[in-house]
Structure 1
Amino acid sequence: MKANEVQESQDWMLARCGMFTASRAADLMARTKSGPSASRANLLALLAVERLTGQPVETYRNSAMDRGIELEAEARDAYSFTTGRAVEEAGFVLCSELPNTGCSPDGLVGDGLVEIKCPASMQKHLEALRTGAHAVEYRWQLQHQMLVVGAPWVDAVSYDPRFPDRLQLAITRVERDEAAIAELRAAIKAADLEVEKIVDELRRMPEAA
């Protein structure tokens, strides 16, 4: 396991270029009644482009995502204060068992992890407080992180400073699910071979006359 690069920096973007990352896990695992969803095909195409060019593909970023980035450090401090646990920041962590795979945990907490969400919607934070909905929504992202890091658990955190002090944090402990991780591991291996096939085919194409 190797952690490097400050998240959202240019070096961090380059480190995760062409990689199966935790934030992309849901697209990889998405299914319809007839089979894999279009998001999987789109992901494989994106990874093929990144591997061919060596450059990260710019993806859509909205104000809600910007808000999450801006509040992350504040949320991390609030989590540490509330739980009494020190949080070590991490960059991009490479998976020791799978090629082209890694993740960027929001924090390392002892032998576990913390993943922070700062939803723009106050209703989403309310559901996180009431039911732990954020842990379900980001299931594959969390399991991917545990696969890469080898962690036994992740604290899924929803943070909203607009709520009263005692309701600003929703913390749901998510345990490592070996069945889900085995499914994810197999999906990554299969998809990685598909991406490499696309890249190889394109590199073998004859030059235009």
Structure 2
Amino acid sequence: MIEIINCVQGSPEWAQARLGIPTASEFASILTKGRGGTESRTRQTYLYKLAGERLTGEVMDSFTSPHMERGKLMEEEARSAYSFVTGLDCQTVGFLRRGRAGASPDALIGEDGLLEIKTKLPHLLIEALLKGEFPPEHKAQCQGQLWIAERDWIDLAIYWPGLPIVISRAHRDKAFIAELSVAVTQFNEELDRIVTQVAAYDRVEAA
């Protein structure tokens, strides 16, 4: 079952809705392997961050660069550009939750599609335009959104004012989503163990 939480992305309500659960924007971190197949530091950091959220009930601060802030401000402009070019209507959504995982797509498109917006500096947008392929660094996030939302396709729109908007479509990759689902389940199980272990320290100290 998909739970749709109507809120403004980035708001306190949105932050609470995703507190303590893995989300699509970090699915790549969950899939990342360390050297020799060991656990990566990136995955471990994300694991501990979510454990901290569950134990304290507080959202852990994350890094936000000036470019990321600028990208948030451009998001509506990018959505309008996407609609103009494609003729498709965008329905904004707050947060989608599926069990103990979630996603925040930038728009729902019709009954089957999603939109994910990335604002990239001109030289990066030009590189993506000339490559003419779906950027592999966004695969985990976008396929994860299709999994959470139970949709068939997602358009990744790369935008910067004054340049052509680059739109790449990816369809549901069942094999990748099956692998991702298992990885997220294992991640949540490990997260449960860590939370239980840390909570036990409080009981020992209290005794």
| Contact 1:89 1:108 (8 Å CA) reproduced | yes
For 1:77 and 1:207, locate their aligned partners in 2 and report how far apart those are by CA, in whole Å.
Answer: 56
| Contact 2:134 2:170 (8 Å CA) reproduced | no
CA deviations 1:172-209 (Å, max 9, x no partner) are 00111111101100000001000000101111221267
Runs of 4+ in 1 over 4 A off after TM superposition: none
Aligned to 2:158: 158
For 1:107 and 1:135, locate their aligned partners in 2 and report how far apart those are by CA, in whole Å.
Answer: 19
Deviation at 1:60, TM superposition (A): 0.6
CA deviations 1:35-90 (Å, max 9, x no partner) are 23211111110110011111110011001110110000000011011111110001
Are residue 66 (structure 1) and residue 62 (structure 2) matched? Answer: no
CA deviations 1:1-60 (Å, max 9, x no partner) are 222211000110111111110111111111234123211111110110011111110011
Are residue 54 (structure 1) and residue 50 (structure 2) matched? Answer: no
Aligned to 1:186: 182
Structure 2 residue identity aligned to 1:207 = E
For 2:44 and 2:8, locate their aligned partners in 1 and report how far apart those are by CA, in whole Å.
Answer: 29
Aligned to 2:205: 207
| Contact 1:103 1:145 (8 Å CA) reproduced | yes
CA deviations 1:87-124 (Å, max 9, x no partner) are 000101011xxx320000000001110000001x2111
Match of 1:12 among 11, 14, 20: 14
For 2:132 and 2:24, locate their aligned partners in 1 and report how far apart those are by CA, in whole Å.
Answer: 19
Aligned to 1:80: 83
In the alignment, structure 2 segments of 5+ residues that lack a partner are none
For 2:198 and 2:184, locate their aligned partners in 1 and report how far apart those are by CA, in whole Å.
Answer: 21
For 2:118 and 2:23, locate their aligned partners in 1 and report how far apart those are by CA, in whole Å.
Answer: 17
Aligned to 1:31: 33
For 1:132 and 1:74, locate their aligned partners in 2 and report how far apart those are by CA, in whole Å.
Answer: 23
TM-score between both structures, scaled by the size of structure 1: 0.92
Alignment RMSD: 1.3
| Contact 1:116 1:158 (8 Å CA) reproduced | yes
Aligned to 2:125: 125
Bigger shift: residues 16-25 or 128-137? 128-137
Aligned to 1:92: 95
For 1:140 and 1:61, locate their aligned partners in 2 and report how far apart those are by CA, in whole Å.
Answer: 21
What is the number of residues matched between the two proteins? Answer: 201
| Contact 1:135 1:174 (8 Å CA) reproduced | no
Are residue 140 (structure 1) and residue 140 (structure 2) matched? Answer: yes
Q: Percent identity, aligned pairs only?
A: 39
| Contact 1:50 1:56 (8 Å CA) reproduced | yes
For 1:203 and 1:151, locate their aligned partners in 2 and report how far apart those are by CA, in whole Å.
Answer: 38
Bigger shift: residues 28-37 or 136-145? 28-37
Q: Aligned to 1:34, what secondary structure does the other structure show?
A: helix
Structure 2 residue identity aligned to 1:25 = F
For 2:93 and 2:47, locate their aligned partners in 1 and report how far apart those are by CA, in whole Å.
Answer: 26
Deviation at 1:128, TM superposition (A): 1.8
| Contact 1:80 1:86 (8 Å CA) reproduced | yes
